[in-house]
Amino acid sequence: MKITGRTDVYGIFGYPVKHSLSPLMQTAAFEAAGIDAVYVPFQVSPENLEKAVDGLKAMGIRGINVTVPLKEKIIHFLDFIDETAEFMGAVNTVKNVDGKLYGYNTDGDGFVDSLKEERIEVGGKKVLIIGAGGSAKAIAYSLLRNGVEKIVIANRTFEKAESLAGRLSKIEMVEAVSLDYLNSVVDKFDILINTTSVGMKESDPSLFDYSLIKPDTVVVDIIYKPFETELLKVAKSKGAKTINGLGMLIHQGARAFKILTDMESSVEVMKDALLEGLDGRNI
């Protein structure tokens, strides 16, 4: 890569940011598209976020991705946000257009794209989402916009599931259940999605009795490290189709790339870059 006076600057704001795979993935996409740009990590503490956003404008940085814990707070410093980011109260992509900052959230649509890539049609499906945090909100919102028939949200803290279901019910009826009910309802869904961090560690207990999963259920875990969580392992052994979180990571990035550059990205190139990066971390 040759950096000149004309090279555009993009990046990611996070705290910490050093574990982010976005620089690897987006740099590969820029190179493949022949765009004269660099994509760099910026470690920005929440206290410094406003100054960093001012700096972004002052220095003409063309756009950034935003990761934890800044996705909510950054909204205060943007000029416009789209409908999806507004509903989510969180932004993961900011585009600088002539000094005005536009915020978007590509997480939910990236998730739906990752299912489409696996030829899973979500329209008319009954979906169980485990977890009621930011990821669950993004995923549920996009699933509803893509015509799912029903969503049930199960969460350890039932009140959080209830509150999220209440917000989503402005779009379509969504129900909440407690995690304790999972064993008795799990066979009633076409798609089951884990959005919690349970399964990242080998010692994690199961969220429910995974052996109750039916072969015709699609089971998705948004975790990608490890590639195959215990949930996915057992689901696969039961004959179910399983999908890990790599696709969501790639497709939220691909959508961000399109917003920031107005060009299509190469999903294959992004995937290869990610796999190489994850491999280097001994996954």
**Facing residues of 150 across strands?**
126
Residue 167 binds to ligand ATR (criterion: CB under 6 A): no
How far apart are CB 60 and ligand ATR at their closest, in Å? 31
Using CA atoms of 62, 67, 73, 78 in order, give the dihedral in degrees to the nearest 10. 20
How far apart are CB 180 and ligand ATR at their closest, in Å? 11
Distance CA 84, CA 12 (A): 20
Supply 246's token pair: 């790599």
Segment 6 to 25, residues that bind ligand ATR, using CB under 6 A: none
How far apart are CB 90 and ligand ATR at their closest, in Å? 8
Options 81, 198, 240, 243; binder of ligand ATR; rule CB under 6 A: 198
Residue 199 binds to ligand ATR (criterion: CB under 6 A): no
Residue 135 binds to ligand ATR (criterion: CB under 6 A): yes
Options 73, 150, 156, 167; binder of ligand ATR; rule CB under 6 A: 156
Q: Whose CA is closest to 137, among 102, 98, 97, 166?
A: 166
DSSP secondary structure, 216-248, as one string: T-EEEE---SSSS-HHHHHHHHTT-EEE-THHH
Residue nearer to ligand ATR on the CB measure, 62 or 225: 225
Q: Are 182 and 206 in contact (CB under 8 A)?
A: no
Of 71, 95, 125, 271, the active-site residue reads 71
Instruction: Clarify whether 71 is annotated catalytic.
Output: yes
Which amino acid is residue 141, in one-letter code?
A: Y
Name the segment binding ligand ATR (CB under 6 A); options: 21-29, 98-106, 129-137, 182-190.
129-137
Residue nearer to ligand ATR on the CB measure, 63 or 134: 134
Q: Are 174 and 165 in contact (CB under 8 A)?
A: yes
Omega prior to 226 cis, within 30 of 0: yes
How far apart are CB 230 and ligand ATR at their closest, in Å? 13
Residue 196 binds to ligand ATR (criterion: CB under 6 A): yes
Residue 195 binds to ligand ATR (criterion: CB under 6 A): yes
Three-state DSSP at 212 gives helix
Q: How many residues bind ligand ATR (CB under 6 A)?
A: 14
How far apart are CB 179 and ligand ATR at their closest, in Å? 6
Strands (E), 71-217: 80-81, 93-97, 100-104, 126-130, 150-155, 174-178, 191-194
Name the segment binding ligand ATR (CB under 6 A); options: 46-54, 74-82, 150-158, 169-177.
150-158
Catalytic residues, by residue number, are 71
| Residues engaged in binding ligand ATR (CB under 6 A) | 131-136, 155-157, 160, 195-198
